[in-house]
Amino acid sequence: MDTKQLIKAAKEASIHSYSPYSKYKVGAALLTKNGKIYTGTNIENASFPAGMCAERVALFDAVKNGDTELESLAIYAEGENYPFPCGICRQVVSEFTRDIKIIIAKSENDYVIKNISELLPDTFEFSI
C-alpha cells in the first residue's frame, strides 16, 4: 500500500468526525500486515474524557476483528500543525508493536513519517 493511499483513507475517515467542540476533524487509517485497512475518526463528548481519538477507533476495530499485526498508521487532520498522536494513543499502539510506521499528515503531500519507538521511546510495560 502506497503512503498517499493510506493518507487518503485517513482523510476520507476524517469527514465523519464528531467534533462539535474542537472542530478538529481527525481521521486515521491503519494498515495491517495482511493488507486490510481499518479506519477511524475522532469522537468528542461534552464530558471530555469520554471521547475517543481516531487512532484508537481504528486500532480497536482491527483488534475486534482479530487483526493485531500492524504495519502502518496514517493520521490526518487539516491545519497548520501536524496531527501527532496523543500519549494514550502512542501507548496503545505500542502494546501491539514497536515496529510500526506512523504517517502524520496535513495533506497527501505534506506529511512526516516516524516509528512508534521514536514517538514513545520508553513505554510502560506490565509483566507478571
Residue 13 sits in a domain of what CATH number? Answer: 3.40.140.10
Distance CA 5, CA 73 (A): 12
Q: Tell me how crowded residue 66 is: count the other CB atoms within 10 A of its CB.
A: 6
| Residue among 12, 55, 78, 95 flagged as catalytic | 55
Residue 94, domain member (yes or no): yes
User: C-alpha grid cell for residue 92?
Assistant: 496503545
Q: Would 128 be classed as within a structural domain?
A: no
Average pLDDT (48-66) is 96
Total count of domains within the chain: 1
The answer to whether residue 127 is domain-embedded is no
Residue 109 falls within a domain, yes or no?
A: yes
pLDDT of residue 107: 95
124 lies in a domain? no
The CB density around residue 68, as the number of other CB atoms within 10 Å, is 13
Query: Known catalytic residue: 55?
Result: yes
The model's pLDDT over 91-117, given as tens digits with 9 standing for 90+, comes to: 999 999 999 999 999 999 999 999 999
Can you name the residues that pair with 30 across neighbouring β-strands? Answer: 38, 73
| 3-state helix/strand/coil string of 10-42 | HHHHHCCCECCCCCCCCEEEEEECCCCEEEEEC
Q: Which domain holds residue 11?
A: 3-119
Output the average pLDDT for the chain.
95
Query: For residues 31 and 73, what is the distance between their CA atoms, to the nearest angstrom?
Result: 6
Task: Assess if residue 48 is contained within a domain.
Answer: yes
pLDDT for the residue numbered 48: 86
In a domain, 65, yes or no: yes
